[in-house]
């Protein structure tokens, strides 16, 4: 079968659909699979790479810089952990906050500061605007959307291209609406498309705060997959800091990173990077509710990753790469010829973004769910859970074992073929 579905004769497609439907019915009658491709969670084998974190200190809790990590203090983190964050983000260590286990919590802090206190020690606060808004490249990261919504920030979709967000559209919107206060970015191996921003996009992003009508526009740069390459020759993300320093906008950028997908998803270290000016203001507001992060865990990370980050990430890649390949192979084998879906083939990160034919994503996800396969809810990669074309499905291949992955992708591709055939045939029933 090497025909596009739309070219297949009706009677033939009817036969194929009947066969897929019968296979699907058999699947759900068995009703004994419980598979999950919904969240970007590391597999136990990946987590085990960092098991030696616990006990790595051998009773020595003092940093090379002389800090007793067990006691209170050091709201910005220990210098050695700030240096680790600097390495991840490609910035100087004195621009880094090393925090607790969650960059998401740091993002919450940063949005709260933007809303209620401002970043610049002056009167600018997003809440001064009756309806502050953010630009959200789509498809994107659902937790960014939930966070923004919780602060009452209205979201405006910007289409993603393979090179990054549509910056012309972003600039037009920001220049004409002073209520637009910022833009969310996952610049490397973007969640969920896996795309990495090009030099042109990064340069355009650096200029955006100047083009914006609002004087408190901020680029929120969540570099969650900074070192998460599947192959040694991963994508290279151009340096936003450098681009901003050239045009004088560095006070309008907040970068985030985390070791959650480097060491332990639960017990890692999160980071913020900002200009020294903004850091002074952030430190003041952070000090209100943080006496210090878990410095013991920071020291563990420094000892564990020091000098061997690249090697450690290669060990992750050796586990993750075959899973990505299995998903992609299955997509190619089952769907390529039929031309009923498109997908990305990222060189790193945690996701593959799959677009089915418009209007079918929700049906596919529901059908797969009934067969025991949990996928990210339809629409989750869009603000307010609304995928305007109802076509995007996010695949998270990392957590499942390879045999499960094969089975899960079998269910997913079967559901896509069945739903696509039904749509093509103008049928509704399963």
Measured from the Cβ of residue 210, the count of other Cβ atoms closer than 10 Å reads 15
Minimum distance from CB of 133 to its own copies (Å)? 18
Query: Which two structure tokens, joined as six digits, stand for 296?
Result: 């013991």
Q: Residue 182: beta bridge partners?
A: 134, 218
Query: What is the spatial distance between Cα 292 and Cα 295, in angstroms, rounded to a whole number?
Result: 7
108 contributes a contact to its own copies by CB under 8 A: yes
Query: What is the spatial distance between Cα 56 and Cα 136, in angstroms, rounded to a whole number?
Result: 41
Which residue among 1, 2, 7, 59 contacts its own copies (CB under 8 A)? 59
Nearer to its own copies, 53 or 415 (CB): 53
Minimum distance from CB of 147 to its own copies (Å)? 6
69 contributes a contact to its own copies by CB under 8 A: yes
Nearer to its own copies, 78 or 202 (CB): 78
285 contributes a contact to its own copies by CB under 8 A: yes
122 contributes a contact to its own copies by CB under 8 A: no
270 contributes a contact to its own copies by CB under 8 A: no
42 contributes a contact to its own copies by CB under 8 A: yes
288 contributes a contact to its own copies by CB under 8 A: yes
Which residue among 139, 182, 192, 267 contacts its own copies (CB under 8 A)? 267
Which residue among 260, 353, 376, 422 contacts its own copies (CB under 8 A)? 260
Q: Per-residue contact track with its own copies, 146 to 185, x per CB under 8 A?
A: xx--x-----------------------------------
Minimum distance from CB of 412 to its own copies (Å)? 22
65 contributes a contact to its own copies by CB under 8 A: no
Which residue among 12, 19, 44, 386 contacts its own copies (CB under 8 A)? 44
123 contributes a contact to its own copies by CB under 8 A: no
Stretch that binds its own copies, among 170-178, 289-297, 402-410, 415-423 (CB under 8 A): 289-297
348 contributes a contact to its own copies by CB under 8 A: no
Contacts of 310 (CB under 8 A, 6+ apart): 227
Which residue among 1, 7, 55, 311 contacts its own copies (CB under 8 A)? 55
Minimum distance from CB of 224 to its own copies (Å)? 12
Stretch that binds its own copies, among 141-149, 185-193, 242-250, 351-359 (CB under 8 A): 141-149
Minimum distance from CB of 407 to its own copies (Å)? 21
Nearer to its own copies, 300 or 391 (CB): 300
Nearer to its own copies, 78 or 208 (CB): 78
Minimum distance from CB of 132 to its own copies (Å)? 14
As a dihedral over the C-alpha atoms of residue 170, residue 174, residue 176, residue 177, rounded to 10 degrees, the angle is 130
Minimum distance from CB of 400 to its own copies (Å)? 13
Nearer to its own copies, 77 or 238 (CB): 77
Query: What is the spatial distance between Cα 54 and Cα 48, in angstroms, rounded to a whole number?
Result: 11
51 contributes a contact to its own copies by CB under 8 A: yes
Closest to 227 measured CA to CA, from 353, 311, 138: 311
Residues that bind its own copies (CB under 8 A): 39, 41-42, 44, 47, 50-51, 54-59, 61, 68-73, 100-102, 104-105, 107-108, 112, 143, 146-147, 150, 260, 264-267, 285, 288-297, 300
């Amino acid at each position: 079968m090497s025909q596009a579905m739309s070219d297949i004769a009706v009677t033939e497609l009817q036969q194929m659909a009947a066969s897929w439907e019968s296979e699907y019915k058999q699947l759900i009658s068995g009703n004994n699979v419980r598979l999950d491709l919904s969240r970007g969670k590391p597999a136990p084998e990946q987590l085990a790479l960092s098991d030696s974190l616990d006990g790595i200190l051998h009773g020595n809790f003092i940093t090379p810089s002389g800090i007793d990590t067990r006691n209170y203090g050091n709201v910005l983190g220990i210098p050695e952990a700030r240096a680790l964050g600097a390495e991840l983000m490609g910035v100087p260590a004195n621009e880094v906050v090393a925090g607790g286990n969650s960059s998401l919590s740091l993002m919450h802090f940063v949005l709260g500061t933007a809303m209620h206190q401002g970043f610049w020690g002056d009167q600018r606060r997003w809440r001064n605007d009756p309806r502050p808004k953010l630009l959200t490249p789509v498809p994107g990261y659902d937790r960014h959307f939930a966070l923004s919504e919780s602060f009452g920030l209205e979201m405006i979709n910007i289409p993603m291209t393979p090179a990054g967000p549509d910056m012309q559209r972003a600039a037009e919107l920001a220049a004409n609406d002073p209520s637009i206060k910022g833009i969310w970015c996952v610049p490397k191996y973007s969640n969920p498309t896996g795309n990495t921003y090009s030099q042109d996009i990064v340069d355009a992003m650096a200029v955006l705060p100047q083009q914006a009508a609002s004087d408190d526009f901020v680029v929120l740069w969540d570099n969650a997959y900074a070192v998460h390459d599947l192959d040694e020759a991963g994508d290279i993300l151009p340096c936003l800091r450098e681009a901003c320093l050239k045009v004088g906008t560095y006070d309008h950028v907040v970068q985030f990173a985390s070791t959650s997908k480097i060491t332990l998803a639960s017990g890692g270290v999160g980071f913020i990077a900002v200009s020294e000016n903004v850091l002074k203001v952030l430190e003041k507001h952070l000090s209100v509710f943080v006496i210090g992060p878990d410095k013991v865990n920071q020291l563990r990370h420094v000892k564990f990753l020091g000098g061997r980050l690249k090697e450690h990430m290669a060990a992750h890649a050796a586990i993750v790469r075959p899973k990505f390949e299995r998903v992609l192979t299955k997509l190619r084998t089952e769907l390529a010829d039929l031309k009923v879906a498109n997908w990305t083939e990222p060189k790193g990160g945690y996701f593959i973004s799959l677009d089915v034919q418009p209007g079918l994503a929700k049906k596919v996800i529901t059908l797969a769910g009934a067969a025991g396969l949990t996928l990210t809810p339809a629409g989750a990669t869009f603000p307010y859970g609304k995928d305007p074309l109802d076509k995007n499905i996010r695949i998270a291949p990392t957590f499942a074992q390879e045999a499960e992955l094969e089975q899960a992708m079998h269910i997913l591709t079967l559901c896509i073929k069945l739903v696509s055939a039904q749509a093509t045939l103008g049928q509704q029933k399963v």
